[in-house]
């Protein structure tokens, strides 16, 4: 094994393998297992050596059906009409969605999928991804103090902006942006987005031209519009429009079942903002909100909206308190931000030219409850604080534009076209020596 693994080639296509020929404790096809590096809701992730290509990969192993899924699935498939597509378990649905999105992505700030091993005879699906050995972005120490400097925070946020810009350009909403889904490369210079299990794709939200070589994920049934309304993601990072709760006076309101919040110890009157009477539409602006919560976490070492300490044991009730805070409450800032302890000057700093006040103003634009007033990704990318320190900002903006990055099929198309042109050219005749 060489010291530094060979980098992933930009035009390397994702291999789809339908035959699992080795599934032993230490080996999955050509992947020799080393230690476990992660465990999520859907599966385990192992560091592996790809013995064919002599490089390290992260192998995510997901069981198609966990036991809970199996019972639900049996019940649903029994109720199905003849000829209907069988319903996928929620785990399989999530992994198929992740594969559909990751197969299409080629970007420096998005973890690359290299191979999918999906053998119908086996109950597990394997995803070989580029190994991001720098680990998760750590943002808080055991005392809940921020661990990252302002400069490190800026660089991370900039990387995520670029990754999200690419996703949004291609009609993908990530829906679970949080520090745990941001991984460092080995040298800790680049951050990449992972975990596309709850992401959403819709061709109507694409900006990219259909001629740019980026094909839409093939299976529409994986991306149902109704899924957008589900509160998937991580509670503290969810946008107001995602956790939107019908008016308390409404008959169906959860407030009526969860011992009335507004009159209880968690009354949300101070600094509260009126909630819109109708749920705002769910758009890519939800990723901006989650990015803002992430940004806040890196700066202050805690989330902006939290369940108050006085909350009770009822998890449903506490979640409801949190969602009400997200929808109606303002957030506050600590006295200092970052591991460099930059003074904030409070939630509304008097000195509007200081660096910290620029950051608070930026957070303010990103944490707008109304998605229509929230800063957009192109505006965010052009924000002076975000651009600060980049030697040639204009060039950087052009160079990093997602319209510049070509999809995998475009690369393939270019290769095929050049091969075809070479075939059509007359074979050079040997010139006889004079």
Ligand X SMILES: Nc1ncnc2c1ncn2[C@@H]1O[C@H](COP(=O)(O)OP(=O)(O)OP(=O)(O)O)[C@@H](O)[C@H]1O
Q: Are the CB atoms for 58 and 185 separated by under 8 Å?
A: no
CB of 258 to ligand X, least distance (A): 26
251 labelled ligand-binding: no
Residues 38-57 touching ligand X, rule: CB under 6 A, are: 38, 40-43, 45
Angstrom distance (rounded) from CA 5 to CA 51: 12
Give the nearer residue to ligand X in terms of CB position, either 60 or 374.
60
Q: Does the protein bind ligand X through residue 92 (CB under 6 A)?
A: no
How many Å apart are CA 198 and CA 223, to the nearest integer?
9
**23 part of the active site:** no
User: Under rule CB under 6 A, which residues in 128-167 are in contact with ligand X?
Assistant: 129-132, 136
Minimal distance, residue 199 CB to ligand X, in Å? 11
Among 48, 157, 180, 307, binds ligand X (CB under 6 A): 180
Question: Does residue number 182 form part of the binding site for ligand X (CB under 6 A)?
Answer: no
Residue in 118, 159, 176, 287 annotated catalytic? 176
Give the residue with the Cβ less far from ligand X, 156 or 255. 156
Tokens 């800032």, residue located: 333
Question: Does residue number 58 form part of the binding site for ligand X (CB under 6 A)?
Answer: yes
Per-residue binding string, ligand X, 198-227, x by CB under 6 A, is: ------------------------------
36-44, 73-81, 166-174, 278-286 -> range binding ligand X (CB under 6 A) = 36-44
Residues of this chain that bind ligand X (CB under 6 A): 37-38, 40-43, 45, 58, 60, 111, 129-132, 136, 180, 183, 194-195, 197
Binding-site residue positions for ATP? 60
Active-site positions read 176
């Amino acid at each position: 094994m060489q010291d530094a693994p060979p980098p992933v080639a930009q035009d390397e296509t994702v291999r789809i393998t339908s035959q699992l020929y080795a599934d032993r404790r230490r080996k999955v096809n050509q992947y020799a297992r080393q230690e476990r590096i992660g465990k999520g809701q859907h599966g385990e992730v192992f560091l592996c050596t790809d013995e064919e290509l002599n490089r390290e990969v992260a192998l995510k192993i997901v069981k198609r059906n966990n036991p809970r899924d199996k019972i639900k699935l049996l019940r649903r498939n029994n109720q199905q009409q003849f000829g209907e597509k069988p319903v996928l378990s929620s785990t399989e649905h999530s992994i198929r969605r992740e594969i559909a999105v990751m197969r299409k992505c080629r970007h420096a700030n998005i973890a690359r999928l290299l191979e999918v091993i999906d053998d119908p005879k086996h109950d597990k699906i394997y995803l070989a991804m580029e190994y991001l050995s720098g680990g998760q972005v750590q943002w808080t120490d055991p005392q809940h103090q921020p661990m990252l400097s302002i400069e490190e925070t800026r660089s991370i946020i900039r990387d995520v902006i670029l990754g999200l810009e690419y996703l949004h350009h291609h009609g993908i909403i990530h829906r679970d942006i949080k520090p745990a889904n941001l991984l460092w490369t080995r040298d800790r210079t680049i951050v990449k987005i992972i975990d596309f299990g709850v992401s959403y794709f819709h061709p109507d939200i694409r900006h990219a031209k259909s001629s740019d070589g980026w094909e839409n994920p093939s299976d529409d049934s994986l991306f149902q519009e109704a899924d957008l309304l589900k509160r998937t993601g991580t509670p503290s990072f969810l946008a107001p429009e995602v956790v939107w709760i019908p008016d308390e006076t409404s008959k169906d309101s959860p407030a009526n079942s969860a011992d009335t919040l507004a009159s209880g110890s968690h009354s949300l009157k101070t600094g509260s903002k009126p909630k819109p009477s109708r749920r705002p539409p769910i758009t890519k602006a939800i990723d901006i909100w989650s990015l803002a919560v992430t940004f806040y976490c890196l700066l202050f070492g805690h989330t902006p909206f939290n369940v108050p300490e006085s909350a009770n044991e009822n998890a449903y009730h506490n979640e409801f308190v949190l969602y009400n805070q997200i929808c109606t409450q303002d957030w506050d800032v600590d006295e200092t931000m970052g591991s460099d302890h930059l003074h904030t000057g409070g939630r509304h700093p008097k000195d509007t030219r200081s660096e910290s006040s620029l950051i608070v103003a930026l957070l303010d634009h990103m944490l707008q409850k109304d998605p229509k007033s929230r800063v957009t990704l192109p505006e965010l990318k052009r924000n002076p604080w975000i651009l600060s320190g980049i030697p040639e900002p204009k060039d950087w903006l052009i160079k990093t534009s997602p319209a510049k990055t070509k999809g995998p099929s475009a690369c393939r198309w270019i290769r095929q076209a050049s091969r075809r042109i070479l075939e059509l050219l007359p074979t050079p005749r040997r010139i006889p020596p004079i």
